[in-house]
Structure 1
Amino acid sequence: MRFSSLFLFVSLGCLPTLAAVAGGKEPHYPVTTLAPTLRENAHAVVRMEDETLLVKSVGRTVRTVRRATTVLDEAGAEWATQLVYYDQLSSVSYLRGAVYDAEGQLVRQLRTSDVKDYSLSDGFSLATDARGRVADLRQPNYPYTVSFEYEVVSDNSLFYTTWQPQSAEQLAVEQASFRVLTPANLPLRFQERHLPKGAAVVRSQQGDMQVYQWELKALPAQEEEPYGPPLSEVVPTVATAPTTFEVQGHAGTLTSWQGLGQWDYDLNMGRDVLPEAVQARVAALVKDAPDERTRISRVYDLLQSSTRYVSVQLGLGGWQTIPATNVSSTGYGDCKALSNYCMALLKAAGVPSYCALVLADEPDIHTEFPSNQFNHVVLCVPLKKASKPDTVWLECTSQNTALGYMGSFTGNRHALLLTPAGGQLVRTPRYGAAENRRERSADVYLDAQGSATAMLRTRRTGLEQDQFSQLMHGLDPVQQKKKIAESLPLSNFNITKFALVSDAKAAIPTINETLGLTLPQFGTPSGRRVFLLPNLLSRLPAVTMPVGERQTDIWLASAYAHADTVRIHVPAGFQVESLPTPVQLTTTFGTYSAQVQKLADGTIQYVRTLRMPHTRFPRTDYPAYVEFRRKINAADKAQLVLVKTES
């Protein structure tokens, strides 16, 4: 079950409370009053959302929201549940709710006994103070409307609200408003994204408080489009952040990346001290190392072999690391602690390094709006004595990630380097088509009935091997084989041989796969002829045009290069009757080629290449992209024909 989270609801007196609503007979949010355009393609509709962020002081905020949502069908039932997050630095003042039938008549109010309080343990944290209050008002009959209101008081002013009332697909919004009230000496920083015309901020004064207000109306439901950006990057959003903040007595400024990095660096300064015995061990480990990279490699091996990742999230512990001495004695730590510990080990080896904040496993941060957008820590090691400027990046939470490899989790994005001079925004390693490669060669031995055996050898590098690396380190060989079988685009086959071998020490990690197959129906006999598809496994599907006009740009998320060579060994008594026409496509979306030819020894050789960029294109180019993919799909399905010779 997915609970709607981190929407902190309450009334500030500008709208009637739930108690007042329940006491009257006037219907509230009847479904009949919903505009048809808001019901179209929607599972739920936000009828009203009123959210307020009150900045009480440099270190305290109060976030309040009231929200009413009409649930149209079972797929929208998640919006009848609510999770309110809190921890050591925040408290929930109250949580209330009510549910109404389709006519807008009160069904029942949320009772205190209905609200459950849970530890939000993630399954791998040694200690966490994260908790949640959960309310569930789901009903068996649709449609119905639920209303929640609650308040959270926070002593962590590092995070302000990111307002995004249309936070999911197939969710429409009838009306939503957002207000921030802040003292004049604590001016608000904000960034508006994708707001419709006329929805920009309205500023006013309320006593000695500055007021910032936004309102949205009549937002139809949206869906993520194929090869488009994530929904969070296209729906109306207002990101807010403080100018100055304070967390448990630690004050900082947030008007620049330098300021945020300075706060984090100062918070963790002096926690990279190692016991003398550990320092001596490191010195002995690297004493004969010929260069910096070798020293880094040996230290990284030590880290991976002697530590494990365990999250520790208690109060300020979300940002302040466990001291390196603790990690050295216990052998565990979270991303901050392990990165800090590795930094301390490298320092003992005479190699300076810096921790870096990064947004992992998500789209990149908005670099133009300095704020705490990060969820992970890695280590950056500049090579001072290299022949040319270079940097080694280390993922310190993994026991098997290759030296210097960031992969899809933290690669190709920005990170905030934490230095004595403050934060410095830098880029993590980029992985393009030269690094993300899949090269496959196959030998297929065909018999006269159209059955075949095949031996395939596949080499994957960079991002192309990420998923297979997870298989290797997360599953046993039997489960690996099962997962590989499920991924093959074949309807009738049997795996006779299977092996995955990793070369994790390569500059770009590599996995080699060996696969033996029996293919009972590889070719289709028809009289004296056999029809077969030379493209054994690399078939790129076509994409379709939207019913209406496309709304978003084309996002090609990662660059890659594929190369396939398939040699088909023709059975005795058969010869080639026809071969597919060669195809060569060169476009801004990528390049593709496919060619089939008969070799001197009678073998048929199929060669296919595909190279795609990491880039974005305007939505007006989508028809051309669809045509590009259609041509590839047609070429990938092209057949050759063998004919039995006359005896």
Structure 2
Amino acid sequence: MKTLLPFLAALPLSSFLIHPAAPAPKYAVADIPTALREGANAVVRADDEVVTVKSAGRLVHTVHRVVTVLNDAADNLGRFGVQYDALNSLSYLRGAVYDADGRLLHQLRAAEIHDQGIDDGNGSFMTDVRARFADLRQPQAPYTVEFDYEIVSDNTLFYPSWQPQEAEGVAVQSATLHVITPSALPLRYQERRLPTGAAVDHTTAGSQETYEWTLTNLPAVDEEEAAPPLADLTPSVALAPGTFEVQGHKGSATSWQNLGRWSYELNAGRDVLPPATTAKVTALVSGIADPRIRAQRVYEMLQGSTRYISVQLGLGGWQTFPASSVASNGYGDCKALSNYTVALLNAAGVPACVALVKAGSDEPDIRADFPSTQFNHVIVCVPPAKDSKADTLWLECTSQTESFGYMGSFTGNRHALLLTSEGGKLVATPRYSTAENRQLRRLDLFLDATGSATATARTLRTGQEQDLYAHLLHGLGPVEQKKYITDHLRLPTFTLTKLNLAAAPAGPLPGVVENLALALPGFAPPSGKRVFINPNLLSRLPALPAQVGERQTDLWLDHASLHADTVRLHLPAGFHPETLPAPVQLSTAYGTYASQYATLPDGTIQYIRRLEFKRGHLPKTAYAGYLDFRRKISAADKTAVVLLKTES
């Protein structure tokens, strides 16, 4: 009988060890339904969230999220970050990444999680907000990332909201939301855009109530031109408390009045000014009867003596610095500066109140029919006197350059919550129309006999049309201004030889005047005896791409504006117009357009163009007409003047 001992002795020791089996593959790309992959850059494989309300002052939010990145366009989803602060503690953050076949590539290690403070970019230096970041991006897609985290919140003023499909080009395979709350603290919620059959499943067991929502197989959404915000297009559930408590301060969110009352009472008594400041204000407005002029003097005093910093320290996110502190230190966040402004106005005999608003040029308006904390900024409202026909006055208190009474695209055209002794009151901030949002341009184009040209242009922009240029004027230096303008001029060959930005003379609305000069070599080279020139040098509006497939969303035209151009084309000796384009007149539900040409007595050719866009929300069937309107504008903007060289 042969022995096996010599053979066994020759084997390495590892041959006798039992190796743990590799984890079974999961989240394989092949398991994603084909229909979900079509048109998608990423697929949310799972978004499972659990909100457990422990008490009026505490809740726990647990999240398990799995995303398959299909291509480089969604590579940013391979990174993940979660914020926390003194009132919201992060229990854990875990992660893993899998290959296309669902095999585990890497488990996130603690050393790979980066923890850092968060600065809002606006001068924050008093903040306890931090974030933990993890990066599991892979060199090549597809791959799948999985993240788990838990937040324990002692700030029940905010309940999490649920919208698994937050970005364009992202499909959702499965998503669930569970909310568990004591019956004594009933949940308030609002559903939007839920598919048929996805409404809440509400059950009660003893003293606990459970709410459950499930979403499956949501195809990717492409943002269409002139569509509502994506946040309004995909399924979502907003959550809010009935009663809440933050660091011993109890409140109710069942109405705007109740929510506003909580914030008002939280800040009551913090509007007392030092006697010296009160005396200064009294002297400042002495002899001025008009309340609006008194308010303007106070606003100018504010801008000249304070600066903005951000405060995000626990309850400091909602409770302001005392007005006396701002008076002494000369700085404050939006709450403190607004509270200080109200105190100054009261000292000037101008009643005012602070108002909460959801600020941001690209931010959609709040859910006005769902009282809850949806705000991120504070401004000041000065209502007119009872017998006055004047408009309500609004003040942005964090800017040293903003015009008196102007809200603009940052806080205009939306709702705000006034905080008064009677409670909160939801009102509208100024809504700017074509009467305010204007761009008025005079351009002179000088052509030489070789086809090169120079041009000078003076453009006055007012209202929301000047918002960007006000930022360029006050926020950038001459070199950066010139680079921005150069990069955004849609001209083939040119040199920007002069640029000057300046504030427009004082008026009812802020304005910025832009003066520029251009050198245009080879602008309109002769073609035989003729020269073809498009005098619309700076205001051409491109047509929109044709609609692919059926339009899915309504037509939202959210910005009203008026652009008016007068161009004078100065001809070289020996040239005269052979033909001038026919006038164009368009009048539609979307706006109006007119252009016309004329030869002036001195031989100069004058081109006048006027384009007005209306604001409106129209059904999706209106999009075809809007496309046609844009196509006709583009065609008219491209028309050329034909010049003929006189025989010598």
1:89 paired residue number? 87
Task: Please give the root-mean-square deviation of Cα atoms over the aligned residues, in Å.
Answer: 1.5
Aligned mates of 1:121, 1:502 — CA distance in 2? 30
Aligned mates of 2:520, 2:104 — CA distance in 1? 63
Name the SS of the counterpart of 1:222 in structure 2. Answer: coil
Name the SS of the counterpart of 2:174 in structure 1. Answer: strand
1:169 paired residue number? 168
Residue 337 of structure 2 is aligned to residue 333 of structure 1: no
Residue 303 of structure 2 is aligned to residue 304 of structure 1: yes
1:550 paired residue number? 551
Q: Which AA in structure 2 matches 1:226? A: E
Of 594-603 and 461-470, more deviation after overlay is shown by: 594-603
Aligned mates of 2:48, 2:22 — CA distance in 1? 21
2:596 paired residue number? 595
Of 456-465 and 331-340, more deviation after overlay is shown by: 456-465
1:414 paired residue number? 415
Mapped contact 1:188–1:241 kept (Cα < 8 A): yes
Aligned mates of 1:108, 1:229 — CA distance in 2? 39
Mapped contact 1:292–1:385 kept (Cα < 8 A): no
Q: After superposition, what is the alpha-carbon deviation per residue over 1:486-539, rounded to whole angstroms, capped at 9, x for unaligned?
A: 222212222333222213732101112222222223323111111100212110
Deviation at 1:24, TM superposition (A): 6.6
Aligned mates of 2:457, 2:401 — CA distance in 1? 26
Deviation at 1:85, TM superposition (A): 1.3
2:233 paired residue number? 234
Deviation at 1:643, TM superposition (A): 0.5
Aligned mates of 2:57, 2:108 — CA distance in 1? 32
Q: Counterparts in 2 of 1:62-73, with a 5 A limit?
A: 62-73=60-71
Deviation at 1:450, TM superposition (A): 1.8
Q: Which AA in structure 1 matches 2:371? A: P
1:432 paired residue number? 433
Aligned mates of 1:141, 1:531 — CA distance in 2? 50
Mapped contact 1:86–1:131 kept (Cα < 8 A): yes
Of 440-449 and 23-32, more deviation after overlay is shown by: 23-32
Structure 1, unmatched stretches of 5+, are 1-21
Aligned mates of 1:453, 1:94 — CA distance in 2? 63
Mapped contact 1:545–1:623 kept (Cα < 8 A): no
1:26 paired residue number? 24
Of 393-402 and 23-32, more deviation after overlay is shown by: 23-32
Mapped contact 2:381–2:395 kept (Cα < 8 A): yes
Q: Which AA in structure 2 matches 1:615? A: G
Q: After superposition, what is the alpha-carbon deviation per residue over 1:175-205, rounded to whole angstroms, capped at 9, x for unaligned?
A: 0000111111111111111111111111112
Deviation at 1:481, TM superposition (A): 2.3
Q: Which AA in structure 1 matches 2:338? A: S
Q: Counterparts in 2 of 1:439-518, with a 5 A limit?
A: 439-503=440-504, 505-518=506-519
Deviation at 1:558, TM superposition (A): 0.8
TM-score by length of 2: 0.94
Name the SS of the counterpart of 1:433 in structure 2. Answer: coil
Q: Which AA in structure 1 matches 2:195? A: P
Q: After superposition, what is the alpha-carbon deviation per residue over 1:453-497, rounded to whole angstroms, capped at 9, x for unaligned?
A: 222121111111111111110112232222222222212222333
Mapped contact 2:445–2:535 kept (Cα < 8 A): no
Residue 46 of structure 2 is aligned to residue 45 of structure 1: no
Deviation at 1:112, TM superposition (A): 2.2
Q: Which AA in structure 1 matches 2:154? A: D
TM-score by length of 1: 0.94
Q: Which AA in structure 2 matches 1:333? A: G
Name the SS of the counterpart of 2:125 in structure 1. Answer: strand
Aligned mates of 1:507, 1:220 — CA distance in 2? 48
2:133 paired residue number? 134
Aligned mates of 1:512, 1:192 — CA distance in 2? 46
2:194 paired residue number? 195
Mapped contact 1:32–1:103 kept (Cα < 8 A): yes
Deviation at 1:386, TM superposition (A): 6.7
Q: Which AA in structure 2 matches 1:513? A: E
Name the SS of the counterpart of 1:261 in structure 2. Answer: helix
Q: Counterparts in 2 of 1:123-162, with a 5 A limit?
A: 123=121, 124-162=123-161
2:204 paired residue number? 205
Structure 2, unmatched stretches of 5+, are 1-19
Mapped contact 1:126–1:312 kept (Cα < 8 A): yes
Q: Which AA in structure 2 matches 1:442? A: L
Aligned mates of 2:637, 2:417 — CA distance in 1? 43
Mapped contact 1:90–1:152 kept (Cα < 8 A): yes
Q: Please say which structure displays the higher CA radius of gyration.
A: 2
1:371 paired residue number? 372
Mapped contact 2:308–2:399 kept (Cα < 8 A): yes
Q: After superposition, what is the alpha-carbon deviation per residue over 1:389-445, rounded to whole angstroms, capped at 9, x for unaligned?
A: 421110000001010000100011110000000000111111100000111112222
Aligned mates of 2:596, 2:327 — CA distance in 1? 58
Identity fraction in percent: 59
Aligned mates of 2:600, 2:343 — CA distance in 1? 60
Q: Which AA in structure 2 matches 1:577? A: E
Q: After superposition, what is the alpha-carbon deviation per residue over 1:556-607, rounded to whole angstroms, capped at 9, x for unaligned?
A: 1210001111111222212211111211000001100111111222211101
Q: After superposition, what is the alpha-carbon deviation per residue over 1:319-361, rounded to whole angstroms, capped at 9, x for unaligned?
A: 0001111111111110000000111111111111000000101
* Number of positions where the alignment pairs a residue of Structure 1 with one of Structure 2: 626
1:108 paired residue number? 106
